[in-house]
Structure 1
Amino acid sequence: GPERNSTRVGRAQGMYASADFKEFSFMMVQNYVFDDERFNGSSLSILGRNPILSAVREFPVVGGSGVFRFASGYAEARTYFFNVTSGDAIVEYDVYVLHY
C-alpha cells in the first residue's frame, strides 16, 4: 500500500510515452526488480496502455526473469496521488502472476 511503513520488496524501472490524442494516456513498459531475500535478482515485466485518469487500470505481465521466468498474468494499478504540475504520483500495483 501507500503507507510509509509498507514493506519494500524491490523497485520499479521503466518508461512511458504519450499514447492518445483524446485521453490522458500513456504507453508504458515497467520492470519490477526484486531485492528481497526470496526473489532477489528476479524481475517481472508489464507492457500496455495506461489511461491514468481511470480508477483501475489493467496491464498484461509479458514475462520475467529468475524465479519469474515464463511468467504470465496481469497487474492492476490504482492511483492514490497525482500532481499534474510536477508529475509526481503514488500508484499501487497489484500483480497476479503464474510462473514455473
Structure 2
Amino acid sequence: MMKSGIITLCLALCLTVAVTASSDSNNYYYGKTKPANLKEEKVTRVCFFLHDILSGQNPSAVRIAHANLTGSEDSPVGFGSLFAIDDPLTVGPEKDSKEIGNGRGMYVSGSKNMDKFMIVMYVDLAFTTGKFNGSSISVFSRNPVAEEPGGREVSIVGGRGKFRMARGFIKIKTHQIDMKTGDAVLRYDATVYHY
C-alpha cells in the first residue's frame, strides 16, 4: 500500500510540474497585440565626417581577413578583404576637428574590378556628444565607392535612442583619400526618418 501511495504522489507531482511548465511557456511565446500609438514621424538631417584610417601606429580600421586568391598581400582593399572599424566621427574634415561619435562595425570589399570598386558595410554610427548623445544610426548597405560623382547612397536600416525605428539614407562623398594606404575622410549627409 505504501509503494502505490508513493508512486501516485510522484505521478501527481510530475503532472503538476508538467501542467505548470506548459501554461507558463504560453506566456513567454507571445503577448497581446495592441495598436501602436506612434508619434508623428520626424525627419532629421545630420552632416559629419568619418575618418577611416588603415595606416600608422593607431589605425581606426584593420583588416581581419582576406582571400589568398584575389590579390597581393600589400593591397589595402583587395577583393574579399574584411575590415573591422572604430572610426571617429567629427564635425569637420580636419584630423583635429571636434569628435562627436564613432562608427563601429565591419565592411568587406565586394568587387573584383577596381574600376567598379564596391564594399558592403555594416556600421553603427553612434553619437557621444550634443543633442543626439547616446543615439545611433545603423547602416547595412552596399557602398558603391567607384560611383563618386554626386556622392553615393547607403541605406539606414535602424537606430537607437532618439533614432529608434530609424530608416533613411546617407549620401557619402569622399573628401580625401590616399590610394597607397587606403586612408580616407568621408563626408556623411544623413537623412533620417524616425519617431
Task: Give the TM-score band, short-chain normalised.
Answer: 0.7 to 0.9
1:12 aligns with 103
For residues 1-100 of structure 1, the aligned pairs below 5 Å read 1-3=92-94, 6-22=97-113, 23-55=116-148, 56-100=151-195
How many angstroms does 1:2 deviate by? 1.6
**CA–CA separation in structure 1 for the residues paired with 2:122 and 2:180:** 23
SS in structure 2 of the partner of residue 85 of structure 1: coil
Larger radius of gyration: 2
How many angstroms does 1:21 deviate by? 2.1
Give unmatched runs, 5+ long, in structure 1. none
**CA–CA separation in structure 2 for the residues paired with 1:3 and 1:45:** 24
Instruction: Specify which structure has the higher proportion of helix.
Output: 2
Give the TM-score, by structure 1 length.
0.87
1:67 aligned partner, one-letter code: K
How many angstroms does 1:6 deviate by? 4.8
1:30 aligned partner, one-letter code: V
Give the TM-score, by structure 2 length.
0.47
How many angstroms does 1:24 deviate by? 1.4
Give unmatched runs, 5+ long, in structure 2. 1-91
2:135 aligned partner, one-letter code: S
Deviations 1:52-72 (A, max 9, x none): 132211011000011111001
SS in structure 2 of the partner of residue 9 of structure 1: strand
How many angstroms does 1:81 deviate by? 1.1
1:72 aligned partner, one-letter code: R
Instruction: Specify which structure has the higher proportion of strand.
Output: 1
1:42 aligned partner, one-letter code: S
Q: Percent identity?
A: 40
